[in-house]
Amino acid sequence: MNWPIVYYSEKVRLEIEALPVGIRAAYARLAGLLMEFGLALRMPHTRAMGDGLFELRPRGPEGIARVMYCTRVGRRIVILHVFIKKSQKTPKKDLDIARRRQREVAKL
C-alpha cells in the first residue's frame, strides 16, 4: 500500500462508517484500490474534479455515494467529504465543502 489514507477529521471518518452497509463495502474495496494505485486509479472508480480534487465513486444496493479527496506531499490521500448522491450533478454545497477543506489541508 503505497498511498495511505487519512481523514480530514474524525467527523468525516464517522460519516464513512455511517454509510449504508452496501455502499460502505464498495467504499472499502475502492479505498483498497486507491491505496494501491493512487492517482493512477481512474474511471469508473474515481474521477478528477479539477484543481487537485477527486471523487471516489462507491455504489451499493442502497444507492450511490461520493467521497471527495485530495493528495498531499508524501503520497497521502486526504478524505475531505462524503455524501449520498441524490441527483445527476454533484451539489454545489458539497463541492464547496470539499474545496474549502482542500484549501485548509493545503495550508498545513
30-40 confidence digits (pLDDT tens):
999 999 999 89
Report domain extents, the chain: 5-107
Residue 88: what pLDDT?
Answer: 87
- CB-based burial, 37-52: b 16+ in 10 Å, e otherwise: eeeebeeebbeebeee
Q: Is the pLDDT score of 1 beyond 70?
A: no
- What is the spatial distance between Cα 52 and Cα 103, in angstroms, rounded to a whole number? 10
| Phi, psi (rounded to 5 degrees) for 74 | 90, 15
62-97 confidence digits (pLDDT tens):
999 999 999 987 789 999 999 999 888 889 999 999
- What is the spatial distance between Cα 84 and Cα 66, in angstroms, rounded to a whole number? 6
Q: Domain 5-107: state its class.
A: alpha beta
6-43 confidence digits (pLDDT tens):
999 999 999 999 999 999 999 999 999 999 999 899 99
Q: What is the pTM of this model?
A: 0.93
